[in-house]
Amino acid sequence: MSGIDPLGSATVLFVVFGLLSTLSRAAAKLPLAPVPLVQRMSHRGLHGNDPTDCSMVFLYFLCSMSIRANLQKLLGFTPPCAVAAAGGDLFPMPDPKVN
């Protein structure tokens, strides 16, 4: 089987971005100050008190959550709607009661 494992590449990117975030530099500026719970995640590893600073790991998380699904739909990597409506699994688990 050839190709790149998407989970493996995502893990590698997450680790690389985590290492980059240890540089304690803001990767982006958020347009508004997030709620305290999100602020703790977005400001993790950064020095300073500016709540609109965003770390690289949080930026990667936002991008992967918002862009990945739309990109998969655009490129045709998601299963057709009929398959999802029929049960969602292309390869269902076999029934252990049947020999």
Q: What span, in angstroms and rounded, lies between the C-alpha atoms of 14 and 65? A: 13
Return the residue matching tokens 């998380």.
Answer: 61
pLDDT at residue 35 in the model: 93
Cβ(42)–Cβ(48) under 8 Å? Answer: no
Which residues lie closer than 8 Å to 68 by C-beta, 6 or more apart? none
Taking the model in full, what pTM does it have? 0.52
Q: What span, in angstroms and rounded, lies between the C-alpha atoms of 63 and 27? A: 13
pLDDT at residue 22 in the model: 66
The per-residue pLDDT string of the chain (99 residues; one tens digit each, 9 = 90 and over) reads 445 566 677 788 777 766 766 677 888 898 999 999 888 888 887 888 898 998 877 887 887 777 777 777 788 776 566 555 555 555 666 777 765
Torsion on CA atoms 88, 89, 90, 91, rounded to nearest 10: -170
